[in-house]
């Protein structure tokens, strides 16, 4: 349910879905979207509060997401030169969404 809420928020912002729950050898990515030429890899976390949800994104999990994204972009025409960012979408117990852009990148 949280992933659907987050997807809807991105769609309202004009992004398009490239993949849902994409799985590679390194693991799964909840959502992959396109914002023009940029790929947006999204990890969705739900908890009672946004703070608790944010705490659930571990360093190990971030590395897994980055590795899986590397696999995914290998299928893109620009490969590793693809424009991309890594967002974390937090959903609290009330269904409010907070999107942290570039949460796993510079």
The pLDDT, as a whole number, for residue 85 is 95
The pLDDT, as a whole number, for residue 1 is 85
The pLDDT, as a whole number, for residue 105 is 67
- Kindly tell me if the per-residue pLDDT of 106 is higher than 60: no
pLDDT tens digit sequence for 40-87: 999 999 999 999 999 998 889 889 999 999 999 999 888 888 899 999
Decide: 27 and 65 in contact? Cβ < 8 Å: yes
Could you tell me which CATH class the domain 2-100 is placed in?
alpha beta
The pLDDT, as a whole number, for residue 81 is 85
Q: What are phi and psi of 95, to 5 degrees?
A: 85, 5
* Spatial distance between the Cα atoms of 104 and 106, rounded to a whole number of angstroms: 7
Structure confidence at residue 104 as a pLDDT band (50, 70, 90) = confident
């Amino acid at each position: 349910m949280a992933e659907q809420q987050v997807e809807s928020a991105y769609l309202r912002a004009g992004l398009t879905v490239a993949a849902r729950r994409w799985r590679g050898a390194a693991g799964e990515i909840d959502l992959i979207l396109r914002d023009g030429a940029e790929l947006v890899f999204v990890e969705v976390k739900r908890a009672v509060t946004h703070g608790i949800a944010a705490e659930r994104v571990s360093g190990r999990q971030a590395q897994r997401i980055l590795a899986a994204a590397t696999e995914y972009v290998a299928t893109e025409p620009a490969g590793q030169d693809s424009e991309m960012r890594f967002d974390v979408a937090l959903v609290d117990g009330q269904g409010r969404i907070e999107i942290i852009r570039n949460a796993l990148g510079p």
